[in-house]
Structure 1
Amino acid sequence: MLCPSRVFPLLLIIVFFIMIGVLLKPNVDLAPGWKDLSSHANLADYKVKTHKGYVSMEELNENVFQKFGYEIIRPTYPVPTLKMTHEPTCDNVFSEWKRIFKLPQPDIPVDTIPADRLEEFTLYNYTALGSFYKNDKNSKEGERPRNWDKLSELIKMPRQQLGGLAYGKDGVSMFDAMQAHRLDNMSGVVIGSMQPWVEVSALRSGVSKVLTVEYNNLTIQEEFKNRMSAILPIDFVTNWHQYAGKFDFAASFSSIEHSGLGRYGDPMDPIGDIREMLKIKCVLKPGGLLFIGFPLGTDAIQFNAHRIYGSIRLAMMMYGFEWIDTFSGDSEQPNDLTSERLHAAPLFGLVQNTLVLRKI
């Protein structure tokens, strides 16, 4: 019979090993929120939703991420955390973008993905493919810049009216994100902007200067030229050293998801959106903020209109950033973008929230 003096230490040892077992036990269910699990976990035990159904992270690691130069380092939900096996230098990022930009382009945007590039565009068939054609290069019905001469009116608009100018409730999420993460006396860059509601949201958050990178020439209202300016993408890329590591924040809403699909006359590029994220990373200061809004749902492309970002492509887009907050426009407060919320809409359905990321 064990004496009491020996029982207590034995019980402590048993409890210790039980706790270790609980902590290391894989959770194969889709966990709510951003769940950080052991980096030594078996990726075969963790699954995410795709248009094919639930697929293990091990399968995605081998069949998608590694083929694009990434590797899962933590099986986090709703998006696995990746590292880049050979991250390109900023010089390579911008020079490669410039090379692709100068390739010959068709007079009218194409309506189908070239067969020899289909696997790259669809992440080796882990991204659903649908059709939704747009010609915003030279069609009379295509989008054109507007309201750049009405900045003095926009800056007085109420939250919902300003944020809702282009994207209804979804656009309000950008305004809310910038109010929650104030930008007083900061300078930043906006990527893609048909009308300046993102820029005005930044001004309302206290920004001192904002530069807009846009394919169209913009005519900024005279009274705001001391705080706002614009540049064409090719000029921004050509002079990228001037902007490297200089911006406190960057912002983009419903723009990057089009990059590389040809809709706006841009070059066909299966990772055009990822290149944009790498460019942004290069021009942000360490710890700089990125306010990014694009379609969220189950991974898909509706060609040539846009991409929809789910657990797979989001992981690559967010490389090099820490995910801080998500705003939906329903409330001025952030929400928890769980796996359930990310995949709530049916296939090809989407919401456009604003994610707040911090450069690592």
Structure 2
Amino acid sequence: MLERRGSLVLAVICACTACPPLRQPPDSLLAAFTLNHTVPLEFYYVDDSNKGKGTHYKYSQSDINQLIREAERFIQQALSVLFGSTHPWYECLLLALGASHVTTVEYNKLTYSHPLITTTTPSLLETTSLFHTALSISSFDHDGLGRYGDPINPDGDLVAMDTVRNVLEENGLFFLTVPIGPDVLVWNLHRRYGYQRLPLLLCGWEEVESVGWEEELLTSPAPFTIQYEPVLILRHLAGCPFLP
């Protein structure tokens, strides 16, 4: 989510070109994907590309108004940070909190029929305007793996972080969730971030606060299907980008 003068954007940054998704990493890129063969490789194949089976999420204005009412009741009952959804629940949470408008940037097809929600595609995301805050909900760990038809890129997640950096004001805040634990690349499902790749992902950001963080889970053995995603609240810093 990107905020600019009262408006919010839910951003999933990706470009769709590969179809169907590859069932294994290209041999020529395997070393790059696994940090010179130091990150274990597992397999869990998914095709969420538009050119494959694809997905098209549709919600009417009455559906979204109902979600907003539910979000208002939720906010009254619990003041907590909550992330991760495949429908416009979090957009509705933001509207319930008083956001003037929410724009969702998504590579899959979306139809959210509501005057306060706009949907668009990553290619139309403006990188010339600066935003105050950003929020990525369990999305950047997928970038570069081709699952959603995005280009195969060992550094796709780092490119996505760099894109956020480029559209945020200096000292802007970024709310980020990704799977945390012992490093592993699960092709083509997602990455899990541990001591090796997490510092690369967070380069150029200062951690302001975290919600649900447990240091020991960085190294505790766990199946790659186990989801542990604390919320990292980061501040945009000048300098130290991973990419030139």
TM-fit CA distance, 1:338: 4.2
Q: What's 1:342 paired with? A: 218
- Separation in structure 1 between the aligned mates of residue 209 and residue 215 of structure 2, nearest angstrom: 15
**Counterpart code for 2:47:** N
- Separation in structure 2 between the aligned mates of residue 289 and residue 260 of structure 1, nearest angstrom: 24
TM-score by length of 1: 0.55
Percent of aligned positions that are identical = 33
**Counterpart code for 1:177:** V
Q: How many positions carry a matched residue from both structures?
A: 219
- Separation in structure 2 between the aligned mates of residue 133 and residue 251 of structure 1, nearest angstrom: 26
- Separation in structure 1 between the aligned mates of residue 34 and residue 74 of structure 2, nearest angstrom: 36
TM-fit CA distance, 1:288: 1.4
- Separation in structure 2 between the aligned mates of residue 206 and residue 291 of structure 1, nearest angstrom: 18
Structure 1 segment 300-339 matched on structure 2, within 5 A: 300-328=184-212, 337-339=213-215
- 1:205–1:128 CA distance, 2 compared to 1 (3 A): farther
Q: SS where residue 269 of structure 1 aligns?
A: coil
Residues 181 and 194 in structure 2, CA contact (< 8 A), matched pair in contact too: yes
Q: What's 2:80 paired with? A: 176
Greater displacement, 153-162 / 131-140: 153-162
Q: What's 2:127 paired with? A: 240
Q: What's 1:221 paired with? A: 113
Q: SS where residue 132 of structure 2 aligns?
A: strand
Q: What's 2:65 paired with? A: 152
Q: SS where residue 178 of structure 2 aligns?
A: strand
Residues 249 and 288 in structure 1, CA contact (< 8 A), matched pair in contact too: yes
Q: What's 1:114 paired with? A: 26
**Counterpart code for 1:240:** T
TM-score by length of 2: 0.78
**Counterpart code for 1:297:** G
- Separation in structure 1 between the aligned mates of residue 20 and residue 28 of structure 2, nearest angstrom: 20
Structure of greater relative contact order (alpha carbons < 8 Å, 6+ residues apart): 2
Which residue, 230, 234, 240 being the options, matches 2:119? 230
Residues 298 and 347 in structure 1, CA contact (< 8 A), matched pair in contact too: no
TM-fit CA distance, 1:144: 3.6
If each structure's strand is expressed as a fraction of its own residues, which one has the higher value? Answer: 2
**Counterpart code for 2:99:** V
Which residue, 253, 262, 274 being the options, matches 2:137? 253
Residues 251 and 290 in structure 1, CA contact (< 8 A), matched pair in contact too: yes
Q: SS where residue 57 of structure 2 aligns?
A: coil
- What is the root-mean-square deviation of aligned Cα atoms in Å? 2.9
Which residue, 205, 208, 215 being the options, matches 2:97? 205
- 1:339–1:353 CA distance, 2 compared to 1 (3 A): closer
- Superposed CA offset, 1:206-246 (max 9, x none): 3233322111343233342xxx322211122xx422x2xx2
Which residue, 98, 111, 130 being the options, matches 2:42? 130
- Separation in structure 1 between the aligned mates of residue 43 and residue 190 of structure 2, nearest angstrom: 10
- Separation in structure 1 between the aligned mates of residue 221 and residue 65 of structure 2, nearest angstrom: 38
Structure 2 gaps of 5+ residues are 1-13, 238-244
Q: What's 1:292 paired with? A: 176
- Superposed CA offset, 1:38-62 (max 9, x none): xxxxxxxxxxxxxxxxxxxxxxxxx
- Separation in structure 1 between the aligned mates of residue 197 and residue 35 of structure 2, nearest angstrom: 8
TM-fit CA distance, 1:139: 4.6
Residues 177 and 356 in structure 1, CA contact (< 8 A), matched pair in contact too: no
- Separation in structure 1 between the aligned mates of residue 178 and residue 73 of structure 2, nearest angstrom: 19
TM-fit CA distance, 1:339: 2.8
Structure 1 gaps of 5+ residues are 1-99, 163-171, 179-191, 329-336
Residues 109 and 263 in structure 1, CA contact (< 8 A), matched pair in contact too: yes
TM-fit CA distance, 1:148: 5.9
- 1:207–1:311 CA distance, 2 compared to 1 (3 A): farther
**Counterpart code for 1:326:** S
- Separation in structure 2 between the aligned mates of residue 222 and residue 158 of structure 1, nearest angstrom: 16
- Separation in structure 2 between the aligned mates of residue 132 and residue 231 of structure 1, nearest angstrom: 29
Residues 72 and 96 in structure 2, CA contact (< 8 A), matched pair in contact too: no
Residues 259 and 273 in structure 1, CA contact (< 8 A), matched pair in contact too: yes
Larger C-alpha radius of gyration, 1 or 2? 1
Q: SS where residue 152 of structure 2 aligns?
A: coil
